[in-house]
Amino acid sequence: MLKQSLQQKLLQKLSPQQIQLMKLLQVPTLELEARIKQELEANPALEEGAERDESLDDLDVQEQETSDALEDFDFDEYLDDETPDYQLSVRNHGADVEDRDIPLGSGATFRELLVDQLGLLDVSIEIRALAEHVVGHLDDDGYLRRDLESIVNDLAFTQGIDVPKSQLEAALDVVQTLDPAGVGARDLKECLALQVARKREEKPADDPRQAALAHAALLLSDHYEAFTKKHYDKLQSALDLDEDGLRAALDELTRLNPKPGNAGSESSRVVHHVIPDFLLSVDGEDIVLQLNGRNAPELRVSRTYREMMDTYAQGGKQDKSTREALTFVKQKVDAAKWFVDAIAQRQKTLTQTMQAIVAHQRAYFLSGDEVDLKPMILKDIAERIGMDISTVSRVANSKYVQTPYGTLSLKSFFSEGISTDSGEEVSSREVKKILKDAIAEEDKRKPLSDEKLGVLLNAKGYNIARRTVAKYREQLGLPVARLRKEL
């Protein structure tokens, strides 16, 4: 049954300006610069530079007259043809002017380096072609993750080439002789074995390291599982080695590169530059905080466009084309005003939020010791500055502050609280630091288990369960006790 009715509702909707401000709050400095550049290109009513004082207009007129006079002045009458052009040019930039030119880097890729090496080998044309095909299947770590049967099938179905598996294995053997050692391996065990074999070939027979390399090869070929699980007692018994002999073999294995492909891809690695949004310095008991200048650009509404709007508005009765021109100018001027106000509001919100964080974590910023970090969540800062939690979250996202103790992420100052025996709330960062120090100082022959670490923390007054210890240990990127064992 259909029914019509009238209803009144009170709704809240975000204006386009509020949406724009939320987006600007979230972006880091580099993206903000790109966003401002995009807005400058799209809106001719927006200009770079601070608002000009009306009293400077007469000076601007004089400068314009001087400029016009210089344009009419003919320099060619006072210059001789024998003077080279480079002697007439000068770099009019001070030492503090930032050079924003991006240098272009070039270099051969990892696979190109391998193919170049293949061209120097004395192998048949067929094997060289198959070896190049195998090189194309290597991943960025230098491993061949696909089995040879699949590659044989690919060649048969996509290129109509029937290649015996034995011939492809011969091509893979050629690839495994290339530099760096270990490329073309199908798993970690084979990768390490190839590197050990290469070292044994390169060193003379009477080299004192040959014995350790021979034991390392046996570890990989016959006792790989015991080696990965660090069952050192079993390895000593199986290889009939004392502790020093096993340590020498393990030292040879730890010197190897588990990802040989990375050695040839350093030039193509993506480097993420961190530009701090805030600059913080400590002078005695005083903390000085300022916003990075690149976060506070000087923008203004074009005076020419404002005068155009005033001229159109005072024109009296207008035809259609004039009204369209006035509408266009008004839209651009309004958009420029909104954007300038949004940037100013962004700067104000960033500064208020960071000042609240500094006030909450004052003890930490004065000492730089993580133990002085207090428990702090987004709600604490939101209540302090009188804003919504989502606003604080946007400010903390992808923002960094440069301190005397390094450039740190704003998110690193937020942590949960843990109660001590005395009832005091301490930051989980403090507990993680104590946990990390305890693992660093443990006896590597008998590493502390998560249960023993929990007992140690409880003895220091921190009420923490074993599974919470395991969670913090994983967040710190530390392995379990069995994998931390060393001779």
Least confident of 27-41, 94-108, 400-414: 94-108
- 304 and 260 in a single domain? The answer is no
| pLDDT beyond 60 at 387 | yes
**Residues 61-85, mean pLDDT to the nearest whole number:** 47
DSSP label at residue 261? G
- 295 and 374 in a single domain? The answer is yes
Burial (CB count <10 Å: 0-12, 13-18, 19+), residue 287: middle
Give the end of a domain, one of 413, 442, 468. Answer: 413
Nearest to 354 by CA among 283, 409, 406: 409
- 283 and 409 in a single domain? The answer is yes
| Domain that includes residue 201, residue range | 190-267
Residues 263 and 121: their CA atoms lie apart, in Å, by 21
- 235 and 168 in a single domain? The answer is no
- 166 and 199 in a single domain? The answer is no
202 occurs within a structural domain:
yes
Q: Give first-to-last CA distance, the chain, whole Å.
A: 81
- 394 and 335 in a single domain? The answer is yes
Token pair in block for residue 44: 């001719």
| pLDDT beyond 80 at 412 | yes
Q: Which pLDDT value is given to residue 440?
A: 83
- 145 and 240 in a single domain? The answer is no
453 occurs within a structural domain:
yes
- 351 and 299 in a single domain? The answer is yes
pLDDT-based confidence at residue 78 (cuts at 50, 70, 90) = very low
- 244 and 318 in a single domain? The answer is no
- 310 and 398 in a single domain? The answer is yes
Give the end of a domain, one of 359, 382, 413. Answer: 413
Give the end of a domain, one of 267, 295, 324. Answer: 267
81 occurs within a structural domain:
no
Number of domains making up the chain: 4
pTM of the predicted model, to two decimals? 0.55
> What pLDDT, in 10s, does the model give residues 260-277?
887 554 444 555 677 888
Residues 6+ apart with CB under 8 A from 388: 382
Tokens 């923490």 belong to 464
| pLDDT beyond 60 at 99 | no
Highest average pLDDT, of 206-210, 368-372, 381-385, 421-425, comes from 381-385
- 362 and 475 in a single domain? The answer is no
| pLDDT beyond 60 at 181 | yes
For 220, other C-beta atoms within 10 Å of its C-beta total 22
For 92, other C-beta atoms within 10 Å of its C-beta total 6
pLDDT-based confidence at residue 92 (cuts at 50, 70, 90) = very low
Q: Which pLDDT value is given to residue 82?
A: 53
Nearest to 417 by CA among 369, 377, 384: 377
> What pLDDT, in 10s, does the model give residues 135-155?
888 888 888 888 888 888 888
- 294 and 386 in a single domain? The answer is yes
Mean pLDDT of the chain: 77
> What pLDDT, in 10s, does the model give residues 182-198?
888 888 888 888 888 88
